[in-house]
């Protein structure tokens, strides 16, 4: 079964986290949410999320994709967590997917995964960061095994793109039709 890791940091954007978790699970993809530290995560708008496990426990497993929800200060916490950066680098080295939305592409940048890639983010997050990445204003950008998206308003498109990458266009179409989009 396809497995996706979604690290949850204090101050993450709940709309992005919950949308991605929900859409991937609707597609029959196994999603593991992992808190950077034990216990509930208070998201950026005060919603309390209860991760499935801790990041340390989750990282004992292999994943087909790692998805980073954005939000502030959650994205800063992801960017500054050496375990997250190492996991992203190992994922990329293994030829597997990494994905981030909103401000979280800053963690992909910190891991060196945006070099030479087209990517997007919440405006002002990665467009001025140093490096050879190419900022795009598109809602969702797929460049090889790196997927990025702009923010809460693009979370559904982002999640459906992830479904298509992991489970195919037919599965995406089925999930999308059930959402009455």
Considering the domain boundaries, does residue 136 fall inside one?
A: yes
What is the CATH classification number for the domain harbouring 93?
A: 3.40.50.880
Question: How high is the pLDDT of residue 104?
Answer: 98
Q: Please compute the mean of the pLDDT values over residues 80-103 and round it to a whole number.
A: 98
Is 180 contained in some domain? no
- Asked if the model's pLDDT at residue 127 lies above 90, the reply is no
Q: How far apart are CA 40 and CA 141, in angstroms?
A: 31
User: What is the residue range of 170's domain?
Assistant: 3-174
pLDDT in tens, 134-164: 999 999 999 999 999 999 999 999 999 999 9
Nearest to 59 by CA among 27, 36, 25: 36
Q: 3-class SS at 22?
A: helix
**CA–CA–CA angle 179, 32, 133 (5° rounding):** 80
Residue 181 lies in a domain: no
Residue 179 lies in a domain: no
Residue 89 lies in a domain: yes
Counted domains in the chain:
1
Of 124, 99, 123, 128, the closest CA to residue 111 belongs to 99
Q: Is residue 146 part of a domain?
A: yes
**pLDDT category, 125, cuts 50, 70, 90?**
very high
Secondary structure class of 86 (helix, strand, coil) = helix
Residue 73 pLDDT greater than 90, yes or no:
yes
Helix (H) or strand (E) run with residue 32 in it: strand 30-35
Is 102 annotated in the active site?
yes
Which of 102, 104, 114, 175 does the annotation list as catalytic?
Answer: 102
Give the bridge partners for 53, in sequence order: 34
């Amino acid at each position: 079964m396809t497995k996706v890791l979604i690290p949850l940091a204090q101050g993450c954007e709940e709309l992005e986290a919950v949308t991605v978790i929900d859409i991937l699970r609707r597609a029959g993809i196994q999603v593991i949410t992992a808190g950077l530290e034990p216990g509930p995560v208070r998201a950026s708008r005060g919603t309390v999320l209860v991760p499935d496990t801790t990041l340390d426990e989750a990282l004992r497993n292999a994943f087909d994709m790692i998805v980073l929800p954005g939000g502030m200060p959650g994205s800063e916490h992801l960017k500054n967590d050496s375990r997250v950066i190492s996991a992203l680098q190992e994922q990329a080295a293994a030829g597997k997917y990494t994905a981030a939305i909103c401000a979280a592409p800053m963690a992909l940048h910190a891991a060196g995964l945006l070099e030479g890639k087209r990517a997007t983010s919440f405006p002002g997050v990665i467009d001025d960061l140093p490096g050879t990445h190419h900022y795009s204003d598109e809602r969702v950008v797929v460049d090889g095994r790196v997927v990025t998206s702009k923010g809460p308003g693009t979370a559904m498109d982002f999640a459906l793109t992830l479904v298509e990458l992991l489970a195919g266009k037919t599965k995406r179409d089925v999930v999308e039709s059930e959402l009455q989009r």
